[in-house]
Amino acid sequence: MEENKRRIAILGSTGSIGTQALDVISRHPDLFQVEMLSAGSNASLLIDQARKFNPNAVVICNKDKYAEVKAALDPLDIKVFAGVESAGELAGGSNVDIVLASMVGFSGLAPTISAIKKGKVIALANKETLVAAGSIVTRLAKESGSPILPVDSEHSAIFQCLQGERAQVEKLLLTASGGPFFNLPAEKFNDITVEQALNHPNWKMGSKVTIDSASMMNKGLEIMEAAWLFNIPAEKIEVVVHPQSIIHSMVQFSDGSVKAQIGHPDMRVPIQYALSYPYRIDLDTKRLSFADLRELTFFAPDLEKFPCLRIAYDSFKKGGNIPCAMNAANEVAVAAFLRGEIRFTQIPFVIEKTIEKCNFAASPSIEDIFATDTQAKIQAEEITRQIR
């Protein structure tokens, strides 16, 4: 890699992706330097991270926690700010090379846009950014010359398969683990508990994406993410259920060749690849033993058992602000499910009802997107109250 260290800002440093990114960075202090850390409201972990990585600045988005963070870091000459606006501003600062966008949900959109406007390299983990505002985000990135490098494991796999290719892509094959309920009979879906849904068979992730994986909404969001990242229509993106999560996704070319990126499922691999791109650097993750693996299996997704996947396909086809409304309703429904207020099977119900009530905007502005998110969340909360 180049001689100068890459200077990194992390949006969402205390989450699952943020903490794993810091693990990667801590193993390569000669290559990476942390410039800025921002967290939602986990003040104590943010303080620990700042003490360890000595960034130039930290941001605590929850303003109520500012005094606590400020008091702890004052003696260390680390600047402390509060509020999500500060996170976006600092991520776009001249001392930052790469911004890891790893906030959860729609909240990641505004700071990511700020960094894109300043032409930063974006390592994108926050798929909701592209789901809600794909056309705006990709246009802004083109204008500012901001490269968007995928951190999502499937999209990193596709990105890796595309390296060195000048060929026509015929199809993207997006693999899905199927989540914990792939083999559960449809009639048992009503009794799914929060604990069962949080128990993902292969990947260790935050609670929002884990529930999305269980409902397969995650794969729906990822179809949209792939369509925007790789500029390919959704009809050319096929979901393949692959319970072992060894193949992380594939690309089929016009000569019938299929390239796959495979490995032990460990989110540090795609995180590190986005930070070190176009180089590959060492990682002490588990190596595959093909003799132990013995077999890899594949299935078509079941859209009856997993209506969220069908809703996502339909929403993306409708386009405009509908994917934004879908995403907003999903965030509300998942949070309500996690609080034990609605059943697992009511998640798609809340989303569909919210979409029905959304005022369609065919080519929304960024203001329209923020308004749609707010409106859809109010609607979804109302629907959730009515059914619980």
Can you give the binding site for Mg ion, defined by CB under 5 A? 152-154
C-alpha span between 9 and 175 (Å, rounded): 30
* Chain residue whose CB lies nearest Mg ion: 152
Least distance between Mg ion and beta carbon 337 (Å): 20
Least distance between Mg ion and beta carbon 222 (Å): 6
Which residue, 46 or 132, is less far from Mg ion as judged by CB? Answer: 132
CB distance 229 to 130 below 8 Å: yes
Least distance between Mg ion and beta carbon 177 (Å): 9
Which residue, 17 or 322, is less far from Mg ion as judged by CB? Answer: 17
C-alpha span between 221 and 225 (Å, rounded): 6
Least distance between Mg ion and beta carbon 181 (Å): 17
**Residue where the block lists tokens 């979409």:** 355
Least distance between Mg ion and beta carbon 205 (Å): 8
Which residue, 154 or 373, is less far from Mg ion as judged by CB? Answer: 154
Least distance between Mg ion and beta carbon 56 (Å): 31
Beta-ladder partners of 81: 59
Which residue, 38 or 153, is less far from Mg ion as judged by CB? Answer: 153
C-alpha span between 370 and 324 (Å, rounded): 9
Least distance between Mg ion and beta carbon 20 (Å): 13
CB distance 240 to 176 below 8 Å: yes
Which residue, 152 or 373, is less far from Mg ion as judged by CB? Answer: 152
**Tokens linked to 222:** 């990822």
Give start and end residues of each alpha helix (H) in the chain: 16-26, 43-53, 66-73, 84-91, 109-117, 128-144, 153-162, 194-197, 207-215, 217-229, 268-276, 290-293, 307-318, 322-338, 346-356, 366-387
Which residue, 155 or 353, is less far from Mg ion as judged by CB? Answer: 155
Which residue, 65 or 127, is less far from Mg ion as judged by CB? Answer: 127
Which residue, 144 or 244, is less far from Mg ion as judged by CB? Answer: 244
Provide the angle, in degrees to the nearest 10, between the axes of the packed helices 307-318 and 217-229.
Answer: 30
Q: How far is CA 3 from CA 32, 35, 53, 214, in A?
A: 11, 17, 20, 43
**Tokens linked to 212:** 């999305």
C-alpha span between 1 and 12 (Å, rounded): 26
Least distance between Mg ion and beta carbon 223 (Å): 11
